[in-house]
Amino acid sequence: MPIDHREIDTENTYEYKNVNQAVYASIVKSQRVGRKQLAVLIDPDRLRTQSLDALIALAEQGIDFFFIGGSLLMDEKMEHCLQILRRSVPQPLVIFPGSPLQISAQADAILLLSLISGRNADLLIGQHVIAAPYLKASGLEIIPTGYMLIDGGVSTTAAYMSGTQPIPPEKIEIAVCTAMAGTMLGLKMLYLDAGSGAQRSVSPEMIQAVRAEIEVPLITGGGIRTPEKAYTNLRAGADLLVVGNVLEKDPSLLTEIAAAVRSAGV
């Protein structure tokens, strides 16, 4: 359902001049009451028209947000995808950018990602400097998000394009300290991502350990192919689950995954 701006509790939420805060405030509010949320990630470069149509038809099954973005994005595919979604679904559209060029006023919000798991300064501040004036003029809700790549068993486009190594799944203490540092720097959400096409998702043990040390909303995605895995990761402490690749192949799984997300809440 669309977010009712009148019902959003904006206490202690991120503030940015002239930008509404409905998306982030709704995530914080859901976290406070123990309600788990689901986002469907759409990569316009990869999604077939029939798959997008199928997801739109299932949009009322429990999707809270549509995330749109990719590591490459050729031509005007993102704009075209946003246009279709804007006239077809009521859910907020959130850009999950793979480059500073992926900005569109057709969306509602953008995750301003800092790749805190890597050591590439360009993805910690460099690209943000390039994007800043465009973001300010866009009218988008800007959500500063610490992005952490976790090794999912395969080489991912995100790791290749960023020139960084993902955190090994067994190095839970590195993930925990990285997450702690991100929140100390003022990032408002954390995103643990095993990457598109991952053989394994972020482990419940890592999610649980990170959750124990942070208070901000925690997102997880990558390698989640079953309702059972969705449920396990949410119960471990994630607040928002992101699925994408599996739905490109079988959109019908959305109904089961959405049910698992709802059942994982307090």
* Statement: residue 17 has pLDDT above 80: no
pLDDT over 90 (residue 162) = no
Q: Find the mean pLDDT for residues 183-196.
A: 95
- The pTM assigned to this predicted structure is 0.89
**Does the pLDDT value for residue 2 go beyond 60?**
no
pLDDT score for 92: 97
CB 166, CB 152: distance < 8 Å: yes
SS (H, E, C) 158-197: HHHHHCCCCECCCCHHHHHHHHHHHHHCCCCEEEEECCCC
pLDDT (0 to 100) of residue 14:
32
| Percent of the chain residues past pLDDT 70, beyond the cut | 90
**138: which DSSP letter?**
H
What is the predicted pLDDT for the residue at 73?
A: 62
The predicted pLDDT at position 101 comes to 83
Q: Reply yes or no on whether the pLDDT at 10 is more than 70.
A: no
Identify the helix (H) or strand (E) that includes residue 85: helix 77-88
What's the whole-number mean pLDDT along residues 21-26?
93
Model confidence at 13, pLDDT cuts 50, 70, 90, reads very low
Answer whether residue 135 shows pLDDT above 90. yes
Of 190, 251, 243, which is closest to residue 37 (Cα–Cα)? 243
DSSP 166: P
Q: Which of 219, 220, 226, 232 lies closest to 246 in space, CA to CA?
A: 226
Please give the mean pLDDT across all residues of the chain. Answer: 88
For range 236-247, the mean pLDDT = 93
